[in-house]
Amino acid sequence: MKFNKRTILVLCFILFCTSFLIKHPVQSTGTGPTKSVHVHNVIFMIPDGFSASYASNYRIFKGSEDTRLDPLLVGMMKTRSANNLVTDSAAAATAMATGYKTNNDMISISPEGKPLETILEAAKKAGKATGLVATSTVTHATPAAFAAHVTSRESKAEVALQMVEKVDVLLGGGKRYFLPRSAGGLQKERHLIEELQLKGYSFIKNRDELLKLDAVTNQFFGLFAEGPMSPELDRDVTEQPSLAEMTTAAITALSQHDGGFFLMVEGSQIDWAGHANDAAWAMKDIEAFEQAVGVALDFAEKDESTLVVVVGDHDTGGMSAGGYDEYAAKADILRDVKASGKYMAKQLNSKRSNAKEVLKTYANIELTKEEAKRIKKADDENLVYVINNIISERACIGWTTKVHTGVDVPLYAYGPASEWFRGSLDNTDVPKWMAKAMDIPFLSRLGH
């Protein structure tokens, strides 16, 4: 057989490309599995409001080149909702729980009003144990989206009613949503805590009870505050457990289940710190979240069949790493801050004449006359922001807003199937790949 010059050139090109691809295989960019995996458990961890600028400032705050998250960075995630370029937590959590976008304010309901199956519900149907952990109320937008379906995120009593049938371990704040009005709660008639106890659930009231929990207990609720739990900065004056302690308890209980488990852990108050422009609060709650991530990673490393996925739902506050002082970033000084701006504001006397003493005691800051004057002149509504802005200025951290922004957020993953999350993903992609990794039916239909 004779070959002309063009045929020979084409064959040479094909041989070259084949050789190159063998030596340099194309990497997955979130478009599908490249090999079979076995994922028995998924731990999905959400630092609410966390973006790349928070990661940068936290690295400076920690005084370390790397955090536990840095080596796990695999991609970035887009955050928009169905009806807005800037999402709220309800729509963001719905996307990450159901694989569908919805409108801001809606919880696992389509824009047309149809219930959307969640990854937690799908895991439960597939025979897996389930858990939700948060430092907000457990009925707040993010945990709610994994186990409830309501048209408004404010329907927290209804969220509690829907949650109790689906979750084996539930830890966080929000006790009042599980109690009847006769007991000071927000349920019309039902006493959900008593109902759960009758079904065999243990009820945990404080940190000591959580730490003493019998190792064989695998179904329990821990509601550690009537409303939200305390910021990490102020937790030492409470009887509340840390996020890491709650994560440890949840994993210990859920891992007893032979069928595997799905667990969502939220560092809820990073977002609230961003709304308050409270840089120290944000850093301390990120530190608490990193410790919880460490608990999950330690378990996953030993287990070898657990996928850990970490991603914020959106950015809050438009934080900068550096500002006010050219080429300076000083988030490390926030290690000296011992209380939230809200707590410090409560320590001021009626004339605010003790501002210098309060800021020195709780933030290790010597106020200038101008800064003390700013605090004294602030109206009640803006007092906390003035305190927080003074501290942020000292740390060279800027804020562009008190609400959310629409920037992409970093995505981290560890364990089998972690490579599936590489590249630029939409928030709706995340639960799809988690379900694929666990090999459970999901996204088969709208509604139930």
Enzyme catalytic residues: 89
Using the Cα atoms of residue 175, residue 181, residue 187 and residue 190 in order, give the sign of their dihedral: positive
Tell me, what amino acid is at 299? F
Between CA 22 and CA 25 the distance in angstroms is 6
Q: Scan for tokens 């030596």, then name that residue.
A: 23
Between CA 81 and CA 104 the distance in angstroms is 7
Between CA 315 and CA 363 the distance in angstroms is 25
The CA-atom distances, in angstroms, between 421 and each of 38, 307, 406 are: 16, 11, 20
CB 416 within 8 A of CB 35: no
CB 115 within 8 A of CB 149: yes
The CA-atom distances, in angstroms, between 50 and each of 11, 16, 89, 285, 447 are: 51, 45, 12, 11, 31
Contacts of 341 (CB under 8 A, 6+ apart): 276, 278, 280, 281, 384, 385, 387, 388, 391
CB 122 within 8 A of CB 442: yes
Outline where DSSP puts E strands in 6-101: 41-47, 73-78
Shortest CA distance to 389 belongs to which of 282, 276, 287?
Answer: 276
For residue 116, give the H/E element and its range.
none
DSSP β-ladder status, 41-47 and 169-173: unpaired
Q: What is residue 26's DSSP assignment?
A: P
